Structure 1
Amino acid sequence: MDIPGVSRELKRELHEDGVFEDHDEVDFVAHSLGGLAVERLLIDDQRDSYHGAKHADYDNPRSMADKTHFLYMFGTPFEGSRVAKVAAYLSDDPKLKQLSPRDEEEFLFKLSKEWVGIHPKLSPAPHRYCAYETLRTDRALLVVDKMGATRQCEKMEDVMADHLGLVKPCKKTDKSYTLLQERVQHRLEQITKHGKKNRQ
Structure 2
Amino acid sequence: MTEKSTELTWLGIWFKNRAKIIGGVIVIVAVGVTAIMNWPGSKSIGGVPAVEASYAGSGDHKKPVVVVFIHGIFGDKSTWGRQESSFPEMLVSDPALSGKVDAFSFRYYTPAFQSAANVSQLAVQLDGVLEDKEVMQDHEKVVFLCHSMGGLVLRRHLLMTHKLDKVAMIYFYATPTNGVEIANIAKVVSSNPQLRAMFPLEGNELLQNLQDDWLHWEEARRLPSYCAYEAVPTVGNIFIVPQSSARALCSEVYPMNANHMQIVKPPRRDDPRYSRFVTAMRKAVGASLLNPATTISDQPYPRTVAVEVPGAREQGTYTEVFVKKGDVLRFSARGIWCWGGTSGCSDADGTPGRPKADEDPEAVMLKGQHFGTLIGRVKDWYFAIGTSRAIEAKETGNLVLLMNDRKGTYDFDNSGSIQVTATVEAGMSGRRE
* Superposition TM-score, scaled by structure 1 size: 0.82
1:104 Cα shift? 5.1
Q: Do structure 1's residue 183 and structure 2's residue 305 form an aligned pair?
A: no
Q: Deviations over 1:67-93 (max 9, x none)?
A: 212100000000101111111233221
Listed as ranges, the matches of 1:1-200 within 5 Å are 1-46=117-162, 64-103=163-202, 106-119=205-218, 122=219, 125-186=222-283, 187-189=285-287, 191=289, 194-196=316-318
Which structure 2 segments of 5+ residues have no match? 1-116, 291-308, 310-315, 320-378, 380-397, 399-433
Q: Deviations over 1:126-156 (max 9, x none)?
A: 2111000011113341000111001121100
**Structure 2 counterpart SS, 1:167:** coil
Alpha carbons of structure 1 residues 94 and 155: separation in structure 2 relative to 1, 3 Å: same
Q: Deviations over 1:51-110 (max 9, x none)?
A: xxxxxxxxxxxxx22221210000000010111111123322111111010125521111
Distance 2:118 2:288 in 1: 37
Distance 1:99 1:170 in 2: 28
Distance 2:160 2:183 in 1: 25
Distance 1:135 1:123 in 2: 30
- Most deviating of 78-87 and 18-27: 18-27
Residue type of the partner of 1:15?
Answer: E
**Structure 2 counterpart SS, 1:22:** coil
Distance 2:266 2:220 in 1: 34
Determine if contact 2:215/2:221 at 8 Å carries over to the other structure: no
**Structure 1 counterpart SS, 2:244:** helix
Distance 1:164 1:105 in 2: 24
Determine if contact 2:118/2:193 at 8 Å carries over to the other structure: yes
- Most deviating of 15-24 and 152-161: 15-24
**Structure 2 counterpart SS, 1:135:** coil
Distance 1:80 1:112 in 2: 11
Deviating above 4 A after TM superposition, structure 1's stretches of 4 or more consecutive aligned residues are 190-193
Alpha carbons of structure 1 residues 93 and 123: separation in structure 2 relative to 1, 3 Å: closer
Q: CA RMSD in A?
A: 2.1
Determine if contact 1:43/1:65 at 8 Å carries over to the other structure: no
Larger Rg, first or second structure (1 or 2): 2
Determine if contact 1:159/1:166 at 8 Å carries over to the other structure: yes
Residue type of the partner of 1:11?
Answer: D
Determine if contact 1:69/1:125 at 8 Å carries over to the other structure: no
Higher helix share: 1
Q: Indicate the structure whose relative CO is greater, using CA pairs within 8 Å and at least 6 residues apart.
A: 1
1:190 Cα shift? 6.1
Distance 1:140 1:164 in 2: 15
Distance 1:171 1:107 in 2: 36
Kindly, what percent of the aligned residue pairs are identical? 26
Alpha carbons of structure 1 residues 107 and 67: separation in structure 2 relative to 1, 3 Å: same
Determine if contact 1:66/1:125 at 8 Å carries over to the other structure: no
Alpha carbons of structure 1 residues 92 and 158: separation in structure 2 relative to 1, 3 Å: same
**Structure 2 counterpart SS, 1:158:** strand
Which structure 1 segments of 5+ residues have no match? 47-63
Higher strand share: 2
Residue type of the partner of 1:143?
Answer: I
**Structure 2 counterpart SS, 1:70:** strand
Distance 2:221 2:147 in 1: 24
Q: Match of 2:414?
A: none
Aligned length: 180
* Superposition TM-score, scaled by structure 2 size: 0.39
